[in-house]
Amino acid sequence: PLYVTVTDREGRLVPHLEREDFEVYDNGQLQKLTLFDNQTTPITVVVMLDTSGSMTLILDRVKDAAEQFLIRLLPEDMGRVGAFNDKIEFHPEEAFTSDRDLLVRSLKELDFGYPTRLWDAVDESIRRLDGVDGRKVVLVFTDGADTASRRDLDDVMHEARAKEIMVYAIGLETEIFNGQRRQRSSPDRGLKKLAEETGGGFFLLKKEDELGPTFTRVAQELHSQYVLGFTPAVLDGKVHKLQVKLKKPGLNARARKSYLAAKAETGPSK
């Protein structure tokens, strides 16, 4: 399956397109679509927030913004919230839940730390989604670069591609005092690459006031995506490049850019 976000030149979401409006290419070859759905499909999501030292002054505002995302989850959606610093934590610890009130309350339990284990946190979020059916999403927020992970961008990219995880990333540029002078903190550049590769969105914010509307926008996108599908001509165990095009001018399609054509012993492969 390919989950596709369609926007116009002003960045507005575009509903009501039909199967005939889309073209999907696998390694440059046009594919016949065997699946098309423009109805809202449920998601299972991990909302992972940076709670390292640089976030101390703005964490309450980030939690309030994340709440705007959580309250817009639909009854069929499932979620967990988490935080990363020198530790990585998830709530609820045991399983995903559709209880939005519980998820909102769990935001208050997220704790502070100092180093930033960004890639470890995304990797652990992907692992929590292992075995989950349907549409799987990681929504990560940070204001800085990774400083302490054992995993790296390539590791996470490989896992997200193999397990068909869509990553959304929200980054905030902030000013921090390092003990001598104020300096600008920017989100890790690898987040944009990861989001683009997996078909999610990357949002770079310069103002705290943009937090709430951006988390809201992600919820709107996830509930407005098209589902396309095709049957791969070959399952060769290799990474294939994907491209989604729209026949109508002025529209932009965003979807994952590759997939692993995994060999299957029985039955069709995604």
Rounded-to-integer distance, Cα 31 and Cα 23, Å: 7
Rounded-to-integer distance, Cα 85 and Cα 50, Å: 6
Confidence tier at 177 by pLDDT (50, 70, 90): low
pLDDT per residue as tens digits for the range 11-66:
999 999 999 999 999 999 999 999 999 999 999 999 999 998 878 888 999 999 99
Dihedral pair phi/psi, residue 65, rounded to 5°: -70, -40
* Residue given tokens 């995994």 in the structure block: 262
Q: What is the pTM of this model?
A: 0.92
Give me the helix-helix angle, 211-222 and 59-70, nearest 10°. Answer: 20
3-state secondary structure (DSSP) of residue 160: helix
Residues contacting 76, CB < 8 A, separation 6+: 42, 98
User: 104-120 burial by CB neighbour count: b if 16+ within 10 A, else e?
Assistant: eebbeebeebeebbbbb
How are beta strands 43-50 and 174-177 bridged, if at all?
A: unpaired
Average pLDDT value for residue range 243-256: 97
| CA–centroid distance for 93 within its chain | 20
**pLDDT, the chain, mean:** 92
